């Protein structure tokens, strides 16, 4: 049998379904991807190269079979749908095709593709983190998280995660250790096998790349004439150092080659910079349990999203605590008449503002990114705004005159100074700026 499967070639799945090869799509290090006909539908087939199956190909096969049976943990994963029988010492699996409009992470890194807005970049980041939170909470780890695993729509921020054949029970050995530059230091040094804690490191590298367009460990030390294996081991394994580490600038950003990081870093809110610094601190780099959990990223990013407002000139402005501030493009002061005061911080109450469930105390992973309120404009009265209850429960509110009121699902509260309402035991107050 040739390396490339011919058009019309048929395969059987372990459940007796027939797969027919339509055409070759592309090829990677592990295998070849084909367009196939599967039960009358167009799907993708990843067909493994024999040499990519590792030392224990049967174990790899059985793990993949278990993934097929257990089904996808979240809609973001392009999960294996069916696995084929063995043919001539190898096999493959069926998955959904990537829709049009999605691009690889490397396209964003090289600025060939740009997000529609910073909010869209945050939406993409939230989908990635939420998907891995669900996966980890189910007791599994991804084990090979890298820049080749993601397809992202720059207009919507929607994410698809591919290459899920390495997913296994947390701590289980699959023979896969990851891709250079994305492996956690303890994996590079051979101290641990991939698990959910090393996933967290790799995921945060992806987040930094999405926002700052550079690798977080590739500062001045990376740009040398001969980056040999010894230097690479120090850079990513034995002596990793965040380029934005406030305590050690030995691997600080190169003024030209890391210009993106320098520019964007200076624009990020204090709490975003603080979480990146915590994630890539010497403690977190060398002590996996010290790495921030996914929920901490979700809460921080939803706050960040809530604080972005659009200027009249179309530029996005990063506000803090819901206060008016000047646009860095046109110089005008952003009009933010009201803010929503939470227990820990405030957010602007402007058209399009949203509050998510994770911003109000403890919640489960499936509810974390559910919007619970939104600021909308009255269709019958342009320029008049209110807060709509997007939950299925009523809110207890106190009007500006001190009178109690129930706010049912779908009902609105006017934007008036001093009105308070309670959601999930969190008291929120409307304040005039």
Rounded to an integer, the average pLDDT of 140-146 is 94
**Confidence band (pLDDT; 50, 70, 90) for 225?**
confident
Instruction: Compare 388 and 227 and report the one with higher pLDDT.
Output: 388
Q: Are residues 246 and 175 in the same domain?
A: yes
- Domain final residue, candidates 269, 297, 325: 297
Residue 35 has pLDDT above 90, yes or no: yes
The CATH number covering residue 52 comes to 3.30.200.20
CB contact at 8 A, 244 and 265: yes
The SS3 call for residue 418 is coil
Q: What is the pLDDT of residues 308-351, one digit of tens each?
A: 999 989 999 999 899 999 998 999 998 899 999 999 999 999 99
Number of domains comprising the chain: 3
Q: Are residues 260 and 154 in the same domain?
A: yes
**Residue at 411 is within a domain:** yes
pLDDT at residue 1, rounded to an integer: 44
Q: Residue 428: which of 349, 336, 318, 351 has the closest Cα?
A: 349
Q: Are residues 111 and 85 in the same domain?
A: no
Q: Are residues 145 and 274 in the same domain?
A: yes
Rounded to an integer, the average pLDDT of 101-118 is 93
Q: Are residues 141 and 202 in the same domain?
A: yes
Min mean pLDDT across 293-302, 376-385, 403-412 is at: 376-385
- Domain final residue, candidates 242, 269, 297: 297
Whose tokens are 């392009």? That residue is 78
**Residue at 287 is within a domain:** yes
Q: Are residues 89 and 123 in the same domain?
A: no
Q: Residue 105: which of 182, 201, 24, 26 has the closest Cα?
A: 182
Q: What is the pLDDT of residues 391-424, one digit of tens each?
A: 999 999 999 889 999 999 999 999 999 999 999 8
Residue 188 has pLDDT above 70, yes or no: yes
- Domain final residue, candidates 73, 95, 117: 95
Q: Are residues 127 and 207 in the same domain?
A: yes
| Structural domain span for residue 342 | 337-432
Q: Are residues 115 and 252 in the same domain?
A: yes
Q: Specify the pTM.
A: 0.92
The CATH number covering residue 360 comes to 2.60.200.20
Phi-psi region of 331 (alpha: psi -120 to 50; beta: other; left: phi over 0): left
Q: Residue 217: which of 261, 272, 168 has the closest Cα?
A: 261
């Amino acid at each position: 049998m040739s390396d490339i499967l011919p058009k019309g070639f048929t395969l059987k799945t372990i459940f007796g379904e027939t797969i027919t090869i339509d055409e070759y799509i592309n090829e990677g290090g592990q295998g070849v991807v084909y367009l196939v006909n599967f039960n009358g539908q167009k799907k993708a087939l990843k067909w493994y190269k024999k040499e990519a199956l590792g030392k224990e190909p049967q174990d790899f096969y059985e793990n993949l079979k278990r993934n097929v049976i257990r089904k996808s943990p979240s809609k973001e994963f392009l999960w294996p749908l069916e696995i084929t029988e063995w043919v001539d010492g190898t096999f493959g699996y069926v998955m959904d095709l990537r829709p049009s409009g999605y691009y690889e992470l490397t396209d964003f890194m090289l600025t060939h593709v740009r997000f529609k807005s910073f909010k869209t970049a945050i939406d993409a980041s939230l989908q990635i983190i939420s998907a891995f939170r669900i996966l980890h909470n189910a007791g599994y780890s991804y084990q090979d998280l890298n820049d080749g695993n993601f397809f992202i729509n720059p207009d919507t921020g929607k994410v698809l995660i591919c290459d899920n054949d390495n997913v296994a029970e947390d701590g289980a050995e699959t023979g896969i250790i990851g891709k250079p530059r994305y492996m956690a230091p303890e994996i590079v040094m051979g101290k641990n096998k991939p698990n959910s804690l090393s996933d967290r490191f790799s995921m945060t590298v992806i987040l930094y790349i999405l926002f700052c367009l550079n690798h977080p460990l590739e500062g001045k030390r990376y740009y040398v004439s001969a980056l040999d294996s010894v230097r690479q081991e120090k850079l990513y394994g034995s002596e990793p150092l965040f380029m934005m580490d406030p305590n050690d600038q030995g691997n600080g950003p190169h003024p030209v080659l890391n210009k993106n990081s320098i520019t964007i870093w200076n624009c990020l809110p204090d709490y975003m910079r603080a979480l990146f610094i915590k994630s890539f601190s010497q403690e977190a780099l060398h002590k996996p349990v010290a790495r921030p959990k996914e929920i901490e990223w979700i809460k921080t990013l939803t706050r960040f999203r809530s604080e972005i407002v659009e200027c009249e000139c179309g530029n996005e402005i990063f506000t803090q605590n819901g206060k008016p501030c000047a646009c860095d493009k046109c110089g005008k002061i952003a009009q933010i008449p009201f803010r929503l005061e939470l227990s820990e911080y405030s957010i602007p109450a402007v058209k399009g503002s949203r509050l998510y469930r994770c911003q109000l105390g403890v919640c489960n992973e499936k509810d974390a990114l559910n919007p619970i309120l939104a600021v909308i404009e009255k269709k019958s009265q342009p320029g008049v705004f209110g807060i709509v209850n997007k939950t299925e429960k009523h809110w207890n509110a106190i009007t500006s005159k001190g009178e109690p009121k129930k706010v049912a699902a779908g009902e609105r509260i006017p934007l008036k100074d001093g009105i308070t309402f309670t959601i999930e035991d969190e008291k929120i107050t409307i304040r005039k700026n």
